Amino acid sequence: MSKIIASAAIRGAYKIVAQAQEQWQRAMDKFGAKEPVGFPNTAYYLPVIYGMLGAKVEKLGDMESILKRCKQILPAPVKENHPLPYLGPALDAGMATLFAEELIEAVRYLEKPDFYTKGEDISDRSIWLGAADDVILRKRGVEFVDGTAPGFAAILGAAPTKEIASKIAQELQQKNLYVFMSGEYNGKRFSEQLLEAGVQIGWPTRLVSFGPDTTATVFAMGFATRAALSFGGIQPGDFRKILIYNKDRIFAFALPMGFVSDEWYATAAGAINFGFPVIADTPIPEILPTGICTYEHVVSNIAHENLVAKAVEVRGLKVNLASVPIPVAYGAAFEGERVRGEDIYLECGGGRTLMCEWVTSKRMSEVEDGKVEVIGPELKDVPAGSKLPMAICVEVAGREMQEDFEPILERQVHHLINYAQGVMHIGQRDIAWIRISKQAVEKGFKIKDLGIILHAKLHQDFGRIFDKLQVKIYTNETDVKEKVERAREVYKHRDTRIEGMTDETTDIYYSCTLCQSFAPSHVCVISPERTGLCGSYNWMDCKASFEINPTGPNQPVPKLETIDQKLGQWTGVNDFVNKASRGKIDHYNFYSIIYDPMTTCGCCECIAAVLPMCNGIMTVNRDFPGMTPSGMKFTTLAGTIGGGLSTPGFVGHGKYNITQRKFVKGDGGISRIVWMPKMLKEEIGERFSQRAAELGYPDLLNQIADETVGTTEDAILPFLTERNHPALSMPSII
């Protein structure tokens, strides 16, 4: 390693550790050793420290031993004639820097609780988002799982101009990367430059303004550490595995922009520990030989227009760039972008006008591949701020095409359209909702481009199952009305097909191993009455997905012999799970939370837990941030059981699954549910009450407690007793 870099990194580490020491001492004098500290809404404490050392920093007093540790690993400053190689000491200095930076940021949270917004979006009060909480980690982690986000770029400092900043950000977005921003150069910050250039920043657009100081870079490293702990199922303290996991799976790199200070060198040395290389725009010394990182460690003096390409090359990232011939940028990073108020040029659906999306198969002779028609007004025919009805009808033909594939293709419409910059899409079927921004229209975007996107992308991703595809987009009242009515009949027909199926009516279930890239021992087996715990895959979807991609993540699993009818266990499923988990899990039950339940990974929609005192179970959905009667919030529950294990007493499941007839059937079924958040009750209420009525408990939903009744077992028990909840008279649950 270059001596200059090593000396600077070590000098920087000394400065940051000293800063942490000083700020900690000041906080101790003011608050005392017992004062609780930490990042908001997380089960991972100060994550880099927790991951690397296994140490839980919960109180101010806990920081003392971490500071001691920092000083222990700080290497001696590099002397003029140093005989040793520099890499090891510099990496240690980098690690001490990250620990100290976490302490500094935790003290900041204590002293200025409102400094960061603590959410996905910036607000009027602050543009700094601070540490990602566990809800954000899970949600975004899924994107790392399914490959829609290969990694992140950590940008320190600022670009020479706001135009260059926005160009670099857009280039990174188009490669589907997250952009984590921190630090300052020349009185400017990259996040502020983007805002000045009118770019939307925040988690939804993947442009994450972590914080104004260099120390906020540690939030990026904390995110990477938690990804390894949560999705990789790695134990806290197993630092080697965490670092290797990141090097192999998270395609991240650091882009210092501007003068590289000692503190930046120190922080960058911390990142190199994770295998994240550094690509600088200034002429700092390079470290080209490989070792810790996949390719080079430090590459410097790269011109701004080549920065992103160089970073991608050095990190060894292969990006399939979608070539979609439309006049706006296109990529997964634009999925979360919103179009609001003044910015709206056209709005369709969303309860304001009629809208539907419908994929249907046609005969070969009826489809002209690539033909896109707009029947009714185009954007140029209506003024800004207009509303129109819309029916997007996609017609496909091909020898391999089947009716079962139609909903699979239809489900793609949402994200494919959302990927276009300046276009927002919500929902599907006849509750779809679309907004097109003025900015997109200014760039030349047309309604017709929606069809061009669907043609290009569906061909690219699903070309194997059809030969030809054409799109008709109706925007006139009469046609839309007619299409919506016809589409509704088709939706109904599709729903009754899966609704009518039971686990007994098929000998084949389907696996999903999509989450194994992050939770290696996790295997979902999906039956007609148990959809995937992420809520995204039902049995039909898996079946179609297997036919579309026979070597993909959804494989048929023959049930074979029944081992336990009541709990839902079969020899064929066990064999499959054993193999797919590489011997980690050799059996599980479909319908029980108590006896060897299914494995749970980080992306479950809900987590159920046994409440022994109430003789029942509770379940909580990811979107509910509050405390639950299990004594844990969703995030803590997920952190405890979400690593791909089977944990008796707890199980992850989809929202829809609650209203499927086999839900915890082996433990007594839905009449065991004694607590759910109010929002979940409302969301699934209608179907839930139908199921409950079938079981003879028409009023069950009202007998179930929620957070307005209480969030401890003690607090809800009187309510359950008063309402005569059926669980209280059921056999003992444990």
Q: Which residues would be at the binding site for Zn ion (CB under 5 A)?
A: 515, 601, 603
- Say which amino acid occupies 682: E
Nearest-approach distance from CB 145 to ligand SF4, in angstroms: 7
Q: Which does 614 bind (CB under 5 to 8 A by kind): Zn ion, ligand SF4, none?
A: none
User: What's the CA gap between 579 and 4, in Å, rounded?
Assistant: 51
Beta carbons within 8 Å of 228's beta carbon, 6+ residues apart: 51, 234, 241, 242, 245, 246
For the bound state, the minimum distance from the C-beta of residue 425 to ligand SF4, rounded and expressed in Å, comes to 21
Smaller CB separation from ligand SF4, 146 or 313: 146
Residue 43 touches which member of ligand SF4, Zn ion, none, C-beta under 5-8 Å by kind: none
Tell me if 635 sits within 8 A of 134, measured CB to CB.
yes
Map tokens 């179609």 to a residue: 544
Binding partner of residue 104 among Zn ion, ligand SF4, none, CB cut-off 5 to 8 Å per kind = none
Q: Which residue is nearest to ligand SF4 (CB)?
A: 532
Closest CB 664 distance from ligand SF4, rounded Å: 18
Distance CA 475, CA 377 (A): 6
Q: Which is nearer to Zn ion, 623 or 699 (CB)?
A: 623
Q: How far is the CB of 6 from ligand SF4 (least distance, A)?
A: 43
According to DSSP, the β-strands at 390-397 and 355-361 are: parallel
Closest approach of Cβ 536 to Zn ion, in Å?
9
CB 590, min distance to ligand SF4, A: 13
The nearer residue to Zn ion, 91 or 601, going by C-beta atoms, is 601
Separation CA 18–CA 384 (nearest Å): 57
- For residue 260, the partner it binds in Zn ion, ligand SF4, none, with Cβ less than 5 to 8 A by kind, is none
**Strand locations in 427-475, DSSP E?**
433-437, 468-474
Shortest Cβ distance from residue 514 to ligand SF4 (Å)? 4
Give, rounded to a whole angstrom, the gap between the first and last alpha carbons of the chain: 60
C-alpha distances in angstroms, 562 versus 51, 542, 565, 573? 42, 22, 6, 10
Q: What does the alpha-carbon distance between residue 172 and residue 179 come to, in Å, rounded to a whole number?
A: 7
**Residue 421 or 657: which CB sits closer to ligand SF4?**
657
Do strands 207-209 and 386-387 pair parallel, antiparallel, or not at all (unpaired)? unpaired
Nearer to ligand SF4, 307 or 514 (CB): 514
Which is nearer to Zn ion, 172 or 603 (by Cβ)?
603
SS3 content of the chain, % helix, strand, coil (to 5): 45, 15, 40
User: Cβ(646)–Cβ(585) under 8 Å?
Assistant: yes
Strand partners, 188: 185
Min. distance of Cβ 536 from ligand SF4 in angstroms?
5
Neighbours of 573 (CB within 10 A): 25
148 binds, among Zn ion, ligand SF4, none (CB under 5 to 8 A by kind): none
Residue placing its CB nearer to ligand SF4 in the complex, 98 or 577 = 577
Token readout for 84 is 């040793």
159 binds, among Zn ion, ligand SF4, none (CB under 5 to 8 A by kind): none
Q: Give me the long-range contacts of 712-716 (CB less than 8 A, separation at least 24).
A: 712/629, 712/631, 713/611, 713/612, 713/613, 713/614, 713/629, 714/613, 715/629, 716/614, 716/629, 716/674, 716/675
Alpha helices in 566-710 (DSSP H): 571-580, 634-641, 678-694, 700-703
Binding site for ligand SF4 (CB under 6 A): 512-515, 524, 532-534, 536-537, 601, 603
Residue 524 binds: one of ligand SF4, Zn ion, none (C-beta under 5 to 8 A by kind)? ligand SF4
With CB cut-offs between 5 and 8 Å by kind, which of Zn ion, ligand SF4, none does residue 512 bind? ligand SF4
Name which of 130 and 654 has its Cβ closer to Zn ion. 654
Binding partner at 594 among Zn ion, ligand SF4, none, C-beta below 5 to 8 Å by kind: none
> How far is Cα 606 from Cα 655, in angstroms, rounded to an integer?
6
The CB-of-600 to Zn ion minimum distance in angstroms stands at 8
In angstroms, the CA 526 to CA 543 distance is 10
CB of 581: closest distance to ligand SF4 in angstroms? 12
**CB-facing half-sphere around the CA of 703: CA atoms within 13 A:** 24
CB-nearer residue toward ligand SF4: 418 or 513: 513
Is the Cβ–Cβ distance between 670 and 691 less than 8 Å? yes
As a whole number of angstroms, the distance between CA 6 and CA 476 comes to: 67
CB of 516 to ligand SF4, least distance (A): 7
Out of ligand SF4, Zn ion, none, what residue 514 binds, judged by CB under 5 to 8 A for its kind, is: ligand SF4
| Binding partner selected for residue 536 from ligand SF4, Zn ion, none, CB under the kind-specific 5 to 8 Å limit | ligand SF4
Output the six-digit token pair for 65: 């031993």
Q: Which is nearer to Zn ion, 522 or 672 (CB)?
A: 522
Residue number, 513 or 630, with CB nearest to ligand SF4: 513
Nearest distance, CB of residue 150 and Zn ion, angstroms: 17
418 vs 554 by CB, closer to ligand SF4: 554
Compute the least distance from the CB of residue 513 to ligand SF4, in Å.
Answer: 6
d(CA 166, CA 606): 38
| Cβ proximity to ligand SF4, 184 vs 623, nearer residue | 623
CA angle at residue 586 from 581 to 591, to 5 degrees?
Answer: 105
Contacted entry of Zn ion, ligand SF4, none for residue 532, CB cut-off 5 to 8 Å set by kind = ligand SF4
Q: Which does 533 bind (CB under 5 to 8 A by kind): Zn ion, ligand SF4, none?
A: ligand SF4
